[in-house]
Amino acid sequence: MEGTVKFFNTSKGYGFISETTTKTDYFVHFTGISGNNKTLTEGQKVTFDVMEDSRTGKTRACNVK
C-alpha cells in the first residue's frame, strides 16, 4: 500500500499513516518501520503493509518504507 504520514510523535514512537486510495488511517509504531531510521516525518510518502496487532486485534501499519 502507499500512503502519507499524517502524524508521528518521535519521542513516543508512534503515529498514523493515511492510505492514499481509501484515506483510511493506520496506526504505526516505530517497530513497524523498516531500516535503521525509526522515525517518520509528517507529509512523508511511504509504502507499507497492514497486519493485525495480536495484542489489540486492530490493524496497524508494518514494513513501512
Tell me the three cell numbers of residue 18: 493515511
Distance CA(15)–CA(25), nearest Å, equals: 10
pLDDT in tens, 3-60: 999 999 999 999 999 999 999 999 999 999 999 989 999 999 999 999 998 888 999 9
Considering just the CA atoms, what is the radius of gyration of the chain in Å? 11
Number of domains in the chain: 1
pLDDT for the residue 33: 97
Domain limits at 21?
2-62
Q: Give pLDDT, residue 54.
A: 87
Question: CB count, 10 Å around CB of 48?
Answer: 21
Whole-model pTM: value is: 0.90
Find the CATH number of the domain harbouring 29. Answer: 2.40.50.140
- Say what the pLDDT of residue 24 is: 96
Question: What's the confidence (pLDDT) of residue 13?
Answer: 97
